[in-house]
């Protein structure tokens, strides 16, 4: 008989709703926690569980919790993950894993010391065209990859930042690459390997109330010699326009596109026909803006498999840290154009 896993959710905002829906399918939610009591109470009533306004209290009173999902603001991910790991709980942490390499390394060490798992949410890996192209790369069916272009052309209105006490604050948020586009950076690493050098042009054109970029153009030299560009903005007029990865390789050219890396827009590969792929899930809808494609069902399905089978592949902290390393290289190489 398979073990029943018990969950707790820390942070009861928008993304917590997605986590709670999926966690309840694969186990039991025993408790939720948020410093805003009304949010904690509302989510607890929805899933008929206990609520807390303090993480210390939850950990002390909920010994049966196996897995804790961290859905709090970016700057809390590292300290809260470490606290939960040190209390002998598995952790599923929302992106970004941390806001610097030092904190990410502390998270990994806490997981090793406690002999618990530190899982990181990177749902774009489960988009049908993304997983399909990854298999082609792993099987060397594209041959040598010459170059790539990754784009994230999204919309984040002023209201997005005004509705939050942490978004847009460099210390708490980290920056646009951390909050909006860390999933894209994860796929750059997953597809093409580590980054040797980065050259970045960053600017803030349309969001005077935030203290970091809303637009960036980044050139990347990969450790394996591949070169590429990563272009991003949150100034797409009115709505998200595109998330894409274009690959130029020895045996083919591919573009994964759509608004959320959810369509195989161009496919010409030697001896391989364009596949008919399943339609992926829709985007996370937050009312006045939309997030990335929602694959949290796959996240929870695979976290259970990974806990049951050590050999089941699922993103853990010691792999996810490379995303933080690349983002640090992007920001450390920045050449502010204007507005920063």
pTM of the full structure: 0.94
Query: What's the pLDDT at 285?
Result: 57
Please report which residue ranges of the chain form alpha helices under DSSP H.
14-26, 37-47, 55-61, 77-86, 101-114, 128-138, 158-162, 170-173, 176-179, 182-192, 296-308, 317-332
- 252-280: average pLDDT: 94
**Would the CATH topology of 5-123 be identical to that of 125-290+318-336?**
no
| Extents of the domains making up the chain | 5-123, 125-290+318-336
Bridge partners (DSSP) of residue 236 are none
The CATH architecture to which 125-290+318-336 belongs is: 2-Layer Sandwich (3.30)
Cβ neighbors of 139 (< 8 A, separation 6 or more) are none
Residue count of the chain: 340
- pLDDT of 339: 54
For 40, the token pair is 């904690």
5-123, what's its fold? Rossmann fold (3.40.50)
pLDDT at 334: 73
Question: Is 90 exceeded by the pLDDT of residue 337?
Answer: no
Q: In whole angstroms, what is the distance from residue 116 CA to residue 91 CA?
A: 8
Q: What percent of the chain has pLDDT over 90?
A: 91
Per-residue pLDDT reduced to its tens digit, 6-33: 999 999 999 999 999 999 999 999 999 9
Q: Is the peptide bond before 281 cis (omega within 30 degrees of 0)?
A: no
């Amino acid at each position: 008989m398979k073990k029943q896993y018990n969950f707790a959710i820390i942070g009861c905002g928008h993304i917590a709703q997605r986590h709670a829906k999926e966690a309840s399918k694969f186990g039991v939610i025993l408790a939720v926690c948020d410093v805003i009591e009304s949010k904690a109470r509302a989510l607890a009533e929805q899933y008929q569980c206990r609520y807390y306004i303090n993480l210390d209290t939850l950990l002390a009173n909920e010994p049966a919790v196996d897995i804790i999902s961290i859905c709090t603001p970016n700057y809390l991910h590292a300290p809260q993950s470490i606290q939960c790991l040190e209390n002998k709980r598995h952790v599923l942490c929302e992106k970004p894993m941390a806001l610097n390499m030092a904190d990410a390394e502390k998270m990994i060490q806490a997981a090793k010391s406690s002999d618990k798992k530190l899982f990181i949410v990177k749902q774009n890996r489960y988009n049908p065209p993304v997983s399909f192209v990854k298999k082609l790369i792993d099987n060397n069916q594209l041959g040598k990859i010459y170059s790539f272009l990754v784009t994230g052309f999204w919309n984040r209105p002023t209201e997005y930042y005004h509705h939050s006490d942490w978004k847009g604050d460099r210390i708490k948020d980290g920056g646009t690459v951390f909050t909006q586009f860390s999933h894209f950076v994860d796929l750059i690493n997953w597809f093409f390997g580590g980054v040797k050098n980065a050259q970045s042009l960053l600017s803030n054109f349309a969001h005077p109330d935030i203290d970091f970029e809303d637009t960036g153009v980044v050139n990347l030299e990969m450790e394996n010699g591949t070169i590429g560009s990563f272009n991003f903005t949150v100034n797409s007029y009115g709505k998200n326009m595109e998330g894409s990865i274009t690959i130029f390789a020895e045996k083919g050219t591919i573009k994964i596109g759509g608004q959320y890396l959810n369509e195989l827009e161009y496919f010409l590969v030697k001896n391989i026909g364009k596949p008919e792929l399943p339609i992926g899930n829709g985007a996370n809808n937050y009312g006045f803006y939309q997030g990335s494609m929602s694959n949290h069902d796959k996240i929870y399905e695979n976290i259970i498999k990974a806990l049951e089978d050590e050999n089941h592949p699922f993103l853990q902290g010691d792999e996810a840290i490379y995303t933080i390393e690349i983002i640090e290289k992007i920001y450390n190489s920045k050449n502010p154009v204007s507005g920063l």
